[in-house]
Amino acid sequence: MRRSTRSRVAALAVLAIVGACGSIDNPSVSPSTTLASSTSTATPSSTTSESSATSTVIDETSTSTALAESPTTEAGKPSESQPVDDQALDGQPGTDGVGDPYYPLLGNTGYDVEHYDLHLVVDIAGPDRLDGRASIQLTPLIDLSSFAFDLTDAGLTVTSVDVDRAPADFAHDDAKLRITPPTTAARGEAIIVDVVWAGTPTPVSSGTRIGSIGWLEGTVASVAVGEPFGARTWYPVNDHPSDKATYTITVDTPSNLVGVSNGVQTHDEIVGDRRITTWDMDDPMASYLTTVGVGDFELRASDDGLTTGTPIDDAIARPVAPAFEGDFGLTDEMLIVFEELFGPYPFDEYGALVVDMDFGFALETQGRSLFSARMVDGDGSIERIVAHELAHQWFGNHVSPATWRDIWLNEGFASYAEDLWLEYSGRAAPDALEVRLVDRASGSPLPRPGDPGKNDLFAPSVYRRGALTMHALRLEVGDEPFFGILREWVDRYGGGSASTEQFVALSSEIAGRDLADFFSSWLFDDTVPALR
């Protein structure tokens, strides 16, 4: 995600490059699993909600031991805190929360979601109205007697829940939809959960400097903003990046509007006074990266983006469509540079979703990055932000954070990718870029990027000092190992989630020496270390 204050300072970045690496294969290299012990010095920012929203309160406690063991995930499966008991004839309940150090009750255990099929009927004349149906395919990880999804109860009412077409008991409160199937769901055997709900989707406070998240309602458009836990405001979901799934999202709107979502458009039809579009994301996606935009969009389909072969399909708010090319015309060239540095683009298509609203930031929604129309004026001044959001598709989207404490892997990577674009496209000199990196990081040393605290997920230090950490790593190991680390990170953990510990391990593996102390200084010291 990247914030924009066009009227004052050039935008700050809030997007995603995630860190992920497993245990070291080279037995002669054994970096510590705990690099440092640190108490977060983050001061909670005061947040002004960007719309008149009621706040959903999540029971959040902050654990701030630096690089303590975090839930490691495999291909997006949540860590399980409850042991499997094969002898439990009546099964076991899943638990609320996957144990995230910042948001302990975020997500749910006991199952892994494979696919969400969402059908949304949306009307935005007056207060927004959403009528939803979800068909969710999941696999129990234990013999499951009951389980839960995240779904805010402010404004939304669930009317029915079926499990494998049989009515199920359910309760909906405290932002959880708790479901008891008619019979225990057997471990390893996929089930289909159908949920019907309706109401007025209501934003929630993120508790961070970005303000309200979730379903945001404008005057002529609406959009869903997910990071870090806004998906729950519009559909039932396991709302933690450790449980990624594929998606089919159908949006039914008045015929003068169009609904746009993640992935490839597979259906577009006018039926009477309604327009129905369907979007398929067939690569695993974290819930915070899902979006729906409803408004008057110009849909622009490109050819196969220069030499990359990646289609670039944009949805642009009509008022800023004439200025769009001036700000986004370099996207295909950015794709070429990033594919050379990071490896092949990980998804079937890319594009921008520019919504006619003033929410003041950009977000790396998967396959189609989200921008506020207020950022677009055609003068090219958001070039860094465009590069930042594109880089997140590798770092943050394809490889997502194991926990929200790992946010620097998203934002530090994407922020450094801005400089890599400028360097490798010949648009800026490397020495000048380094001076800028050092100046910006030195001016924002705290909170420590390796453990900023939940109120400061999007603090400047996470971006600036995170980016300088990546540059320092490049200087420490050399260009060839550095870019080898980035490419292996994507290859090894793409489609899943990974942690800072895993990134330290991978970096040490490829460098051939233990880099735990290096990362401990750069991520957890109060002061910014000097470059080599």
Question: How does pLDDT run across 469-514, given as a tens digit for each residue?
Answer: 999 999 999 999 999 999 999 999 999 999 999 999 999 999 999 9
Least confident interval from 14-28, 57-71, 164-178, 368-382: 14-28
With tokens 């068909």, the residue in question is: 135
- Per the model's pLDDT, the better-predicted residue between 51 and 383 turns out to be 383
Domain-embedded: residue 8: yes
| pLDDT (0 to 100) of residue 360 | 84
Q: How far is it, in rounded angstroms, from Cα 115 to Cα 137?
A: 5
The pTM score is: 0.85
pLDDT > 90 fraction of the chain, expressed in percent and rounded: 81
Give the DSSP per-residue string, 130-192.
EEEEEEEEEEESS-EEEEEEE---SSEEEEEEEETTEE-EEEEETTEEEEE-SSPBPTT--EE
With tokens 């066009």, the residue in question is: 6
Domain-embedded: residue 464: no
Residues contacting residue 108 through CB under 8 Å, at least 6 positions apart: 78, 94, 95, 96, 97, 98, 147, 148, 149, 150, 176, 238
Domain range for 356 is 2-406
| pLDDT (0 to 100) of residue 89 | 47
Q: How far is it, in rounded angstroms, from Cα 218 to Cα 220?
A: 6
Domain-embedded: residue 530: no
3-state SS of the chain: helix, strand, coil percent to 5?
25, 30, 45
Task: Tell which residue, 216, 164, 182, 196, has the closest CA to residue 372.
Answer: 216
Q: How far is it, in rounded angstroms, from Cα 390 to Cα 402?
A: 21
User: What ranges in 195-352 are assigned the alpha helix state H?
Assistant: 321-328, 331-342
Task: Write the pLDDT tens digit of every residue in 162-199.
Answer: 999 999 999 999 999 999 999 999 999 999 999 999 99
Task: Write the pLDDT tens digit of every residue in 324-366.
Answer: 999 999 999 999 999 999 999 999 999 999 999 999 899 999 9
| pLDDT (0 to 100) of residue 178 | 98
Domain-embedded: residue 458: no
Asked if residue 459 has pLDDT above 70, the reply is: yes
Q: For residue 121, what is the domain's CATH number?
A: 2.60.40.1730
Mean confidence (pLDDT) of the chain: 87
Task: Write the pLDDT tens digit of every residue in 85-129.
Answer: 443 348 999 999 999 999 999 999 999 999 999 999 999 999 999
Asked if residue 318 has pLDDT above 80, the reply is: yes
Q: What is the mean pLDDT of residues 297-302?
A: 93
Domain-embedded: residue 125: yes
Report whether 331 contacts 390 (CB < 8 A).
Answer: yes
| pLDDT (0 to 100) of residue 202 | 96
Domain-embedded: residue 262: yes
How many domains does the structure of the chain reveal?
A: 1
- Per the model's pLDDT, the better-predicted residue between 361 and 41 turns out to be 361
Domain-embedded: residue 473: no
Asked if residue 56 has pLDDT above 80, the reply is: no
The two three-digit tokens of residue 197, written as one number: 């709900």
Q: What is the largest CA-CA distance in the chain?
A: 68
Residue 65's pLDDT band (cuts 50, 70, 90): very low
Asked if residue 251 has pLDDT above 60, the reply is: yes
| pLDDT (0 to 100) of residue 532 | 86
Asked if residue 201 has pLDDT above 90, the reply is: yes
Domain-embedded: residue 176: yes
Q: How far is it, in rounded angstroms, from Cα 344 to Cα 271?
A: 39
| pLDDT (0 to 100) of residue 303 | 60
